[in-house]
Amino acid sequence: MFFRLQSVIMTQQDGKRRKNCLLFLYLGDKKRKKAVFTRKNKGSV
């Protein structure tokens, strides 16, 4: 029982960490696209 509970806690923490990692990657990708977009606009003006 104790081990099962511990494994559940571990998977929850792992899931949270993975979600944070995905969110970080997503935000980073958005920033990169935004930077590329602004650079293109500056070049065309």
Say what the pLDDT of residue 4 is.
Answer: 77
The kind and range of the H/E element at 42 are helix 2-44
Residue 45 has pLDDT above 60, yes or no: no
- pLDDT at residue number 2: 66
Q: What is the pLDDT of residues 1-42, one digit of tens each?
A: 566 777 777 788 888 888 888 888 888 888 888 887 777 777
pLDDT at 44: 62
Nearest to 14 by CA among 39, 22, 45, 37: 22
Interatomic CA distance for residues 13 and 22, integer angstroms: 14
pTM over 0.85? The answer is no
